[in-house]
Amino acid sequence: MLVDLIIQAKWLIPVEPEQTVLHDHSLVVHQGRILNILPHAAALERYQPTDLRRLFTHALLPGLVNCHTHAAMTLLSGLADDLPLMSWLQEHIWPAEQKWVNPEFVADGVELAIAEMLRGGVTCFNDMYFFPEVTAQQAVKFGIRANLGLIVFDFPTAWAENADAYLQKGLALQQAWRGEPLLSASLAPHAPYTVSDAPLRQIKTRAEELGLTVHMHVHETAEEVANQRQQTGQTPLQRLHALGLLAPNFMAVHMTQLDAEDIALYAAGGGHIVHCPESNLKLASGFCPVAACLAAGVNVALGTDGSASNNDLDMFGEMRAAALLAKAVANDASAVPAHQALAMATLNGAKALGLDAEIGSLSIGKAADVIAVNLNEPATQPWFNPLSKIVYAAGRHQVSDVWVAGRHLLRDGELSRMRLGDLLHKAESWRRRIQPEAAGGTLGK
């Protein structure tokens, strides 16, 4: 049988069944989907590929799912470092956004983010930002999979003037994107402290009607929880529960402030947690009790957050940080082992987005969102356990090849749809515009 592609690799790590590592296996891809997985000789006996890729020092993995980003904020990376969340937001990021965010800013920031993510093995990202129509255009243009958060605030921004306008614009865009295979959508109220009850009720209703997920920052800091208690006598989670939002279509991002009662309440609703360990550490926001949440049956995925608070989009770093931090928080060296951290960065993210029938594992019938990681480097030798090496030792620079829906977007470390020189020129142009004002006019001239 003639097929589009066979990828031969030293190891194939499908993620499900968990802890599976297949040695000397080939992935057969046809019409953008995984057609078969079988040993090298059997694959070549049965199929004739148009393209044969031999990667005999590599591990093949499902593409990584970055389950929480603000992709356009790559252009604000490093603008205001080493500050707590609310000072960082209110005194630096929100003023910068008010001045600079427009469709051009979003297009260039998202392009920069996509380049970084593809080079780091990310094949799907879940975004929350202004001008999602621009993010959608860039994702399709450059071939990456994206779930677009249709953001909602109570207050005006460059994209909309009030909660009703955000919701109306977002839903119109969601209808316009229907049928685009690389795109999906979530309703994305920013946070409990920026969205009031009436629009949250509308979001719940519309999400149920349209079968959409809901994506929201929740219990990110102790200050957020304390302020909500003072205002309403409830925690943010209790308020969201009373509004009926804690359901299987809900993604709560951060969740650093949780006690046993919170975890039980959230687990009962069936929602997902998106853990952003590096951003939480950098902003000193707190620690998500990942092991306790997993033990309660909560699906936990991983995200980088935006580059402005991380300061990168490195999912290999997030896997390692998530595994190590979970052990320290739980005081248990067996908490979040390597295979579980990899699942959090792949299949668990797909589950949170409602895309696990399509992506998240190397399974026959799923989309061929695949990455190859070269383990033939000093940091990842010797090869006792390639799965463990990927989580605890490998770096994103070891990603050599990336396919999304069978399309080869990164080959031997080179992006196929982007001109790196042009991209870096755009980034430098934005730095020159933004930095003099950010630094009081003393730098960047």
Q: What is the DSSP string of 49-89?
A: EEEEEEEEEEEEEEPEEEEEE-GGGGGGTTSS-S--HHHHI
**Total domains present in the chain:** 2
pLDDT at 406 over 60: yes
Which neighbouring-strand residues pair with 7? 27, 53
Entry pTM? 0.96
pLDDT at 46 over 80: yes
Flag whether 427 is in a domain. Answer: no
List Cβ neighbours of 257 (8 Å cut-off, separation of 6 or more). Answer: 219, 220, 221, 222, 224, 225, 286
Q: Is 241 helix (H, G, I), strand (E, B) or coil?
A: helix
State whether 98 and 222 are in the same domain: yes
Q: What is the CATH number of the domain that holds 41?
A: 2.30.40.10
Flag whether 443 is in a domain. Answer: no
User: What's the pLDDT tens digit per position in 221-237?
Assistant: 999 999 999 999 999 99
State whether 29 and 111 are in the same domain: no
State whether 44 and 115 are in the same domain: no
Q: Stretch 235-256: mean pLDDT, rounded?
A: 98
pLDDT for 94 equals 85
State whether 98 and 88 are in the same domain: yes
In terms of Cβ atoms closer than 10 Å to its own Cβ (0-12, 13-18, 19+), residue 194 is middle
Flag whether 432 is in a domain. Answer: no
pLDDT-derived band at 292, boundaries 50, 70, 90: very high
Count of all residues that appear for the chain in the document: 445
State whether 77 and 210 are in the same domain: yes
Boundary residue ending a domain (325, 352, 379): 352
State whether 246 and 231 are in the same domain: yes
Question: Strands, E, within 156-315: which ranges?
Answer: 183-189, 213-218, 250-254, 272-275, 299-302
Give yes or no for a contact between 325 and 277, defined as CB atoms under 8 angstroms apart.
yes
Average of per-residue pLDDT values in the chain: 95
User: What's the pLDDT tens digit per position in 307-339?
Assistant: 988 999 999 999 999 999 999 999 999 999 999
pLDDT-derived band at 80, boundaries 50, 70, 90: confident
User: What's the pLDDT tens digit per position in 163-205?
Assistant: 999 999 999 999 999 899 999 999 999 999 999 999 999 999 9
Q: Stretch 56-80: mean pLDDT, rounded?
A: 96
State whether 192 and 261 are in the same domain: yes
pLDDT for 284 equals 92
State whether 33 and 101 are in the same domain: no
pLDDT at 385 over 50: yes
Q: Is 17 helix (H, G, I), strand (E, B) or coil?
A: coil
Q: What is the CATH number of the domain that holds 76?
A: 3.20.20.140
pLDDT at 437 over 90: no
pLDDT at 445 over 80: no
d(CA 251, CA 236): 14
pLDDT at 438 over 80: no
State whether 245 and 304 are in the same domain: yes
Give yes or no for a contact between 96 and 76, defined as CB atoms under 8 angstroms apart.
yes
Which neighbouring-strand residues pair with 299? 272
Boundary residue ending a domain (307, 326, 352): 352
pLDDT at 436 over 90: no
d(CA 116, CA 107): 14
Flag whether 435 is in a domain. Answer: no
Structural domain harbouring 406: 2-62+369-412
Distances (CA, A) of 256 to 133, 321, 328, 330, 426: 31, 15, 14, 14, 36
State whether 379 and 282 are in the same domain: no
d(CA 5, CA 32): 9
State whether 82 and 230 are in the same domain: yes
Flag whether 24 is in a domain. Answer: yes
Flag whether 433 is in a domain. Answer: no
User: What's the pLDDT tens digit per position in 114-129?
Assistant: 999 999 999 999 999 9
Q: Stretch 361-390: mean pLDDT, rounded?
A: 97
State whether 20 and 113 are in the same domain: no
pLDDT for 89 equals 83
Share of the chain above pLDDT 90, in %: 91
Q: Stretch 128-132: mean pLDDT, rounded?
A: 97
Flag whether 442 is in a domain. Answer: no
Which residue is listed with tokens 């896997």? Answer: 319
Flag whether 303 is in a domain. Answer: yes
